[in-house]
Amino acid sequence: MNKVMSNKWMITIYILPALLLVGILIFIPIILTAYYGLMEWNGIGAMKFIGLENYIQAVQDKKFWDSAYHSFLLAIFSTLSLVVYLAVSMILASKIKGADLLRKIYLIPMLLSSVAIAQLWIKVFNPTNGILNQFLMFLGVEKPPIWLANPDIVLYAIFIPILWQYAGFYILIYYAALKNIPNSLIEAAKIDGATPFQIAYKIKLPLIMGVVKVTIVLAIVGSLKYFDLIYVMTNGGPNGASEVMASYMYKLAFSTNDFGYGSAIGFLLLIITLVVTIIIRRLTASDEEVQY
């Protein structure tokens, strides 16, 4: 008994620094964010307690729900793009000519900062001399769209560089999972006459389904809290057409100096992301995980 207690104390001592670090960097800021959401505060002067007024205002704020809709739309597109990433990773994992070069190329966006990517795609979307509109005019389009100034298409235009930025990340995860599949299974399927599509759908995909579920959660959670590239490219404009929850929170806190309301939005963003994560985990959990 004493030996068991001694082991527990040793385990506690070893993990205590990590627990303190997690508490300082994660849980304390979360608690403070929820607390500041109860205040009327400009970030400098004295705070005034106003109860749940900021949270009630956020629930009734149309701009907040519009930004939430944009974030969920990005999450949907990010989830659907996983199908493309998975298909590309399966091609790269197969023995095709030039696969080694392609495996190096798709990692390039991961090496760039979000600001650099944003500046690059601003040039691409330039309405007068951008490469995209130049290509469309070459194809015969007389009036190519103004991508980042049109409220109807700006959100979808921004999705393109976002999905391009993280393509290498997800392809790398899928590629590593596919390379862990025993080659004997693939060879046995080929001997039995299975087509490449059947091998991919009935053998490879089920074996890496656990990894796919994890990437779904990562894509959705990452989309709900996405901020930097959108802020640099459009700052949420025009007229809030590309505003997401994180950028709306930033504007409230640091542009209008309404730190109380901005904190309330930030805490609601945390709650929404947590709820969505739990739901996705439940929907993608296996029978054994649900029972556990």
Question: What's the pLDDT score for residue 78?
Answer: 92
3-state secondary structure of 278: helix
3-state secondary structure of 48: strand
- Per-residue pLDDT reduced to its tens digit, 136-186: 998 888 888 899 988 999 999 999 999 898 888 898 899 889 888 888 888
Nearest to 263 by CA among 11, 49, 55: 55
Is residue 287 very low, low, confident or very high in pLDDT (cuts 50, 70, 90)? low
Question: What's the pLDDT score for residue 19?
Answer: 85
Strand partners for 39: 49
CB of 272 within 8 A of CB of 68? Answer: yes
**189 class by beta-carbon count within 10 Å (0-12 exposed, 13-18 middle, 19+ buried):** middle
Question: What's the pLDDT score for residue 85?
Answer: 92
Question: What's the pLDDT score for residue 73?
Answer: 93
CA distances from 132 to 13, 135, 152, 227, 233 (A): 58, 5, 18, 24, 16
Nearest to 185 by CA among 163, 169, 159, 207: 207
CB of 107 within 8 A of CB of 85? Answer: no
Q: How far apart are CA 216 and CA 208, in angstroms?
A: 13
CB of 238 within 8 A of CB of 149? Answer: yes
- Per-residue pLDDT reduced to its tens digit, 206-255: 888 889 999 999 999 889 888 889 999 998 888 889 999 999 999 888 88
Q: How far apart are CA 274 and CA 244, in angstroms?
A: 17
- Per-residue pLDDT reduced to its tens digit, 80-135: 999 999 988 888 887 777 667 777 787 888 888 888 999 999 999 998 888 999 99
The two three-digit tokens of residue 168, written as one number: 């290498």
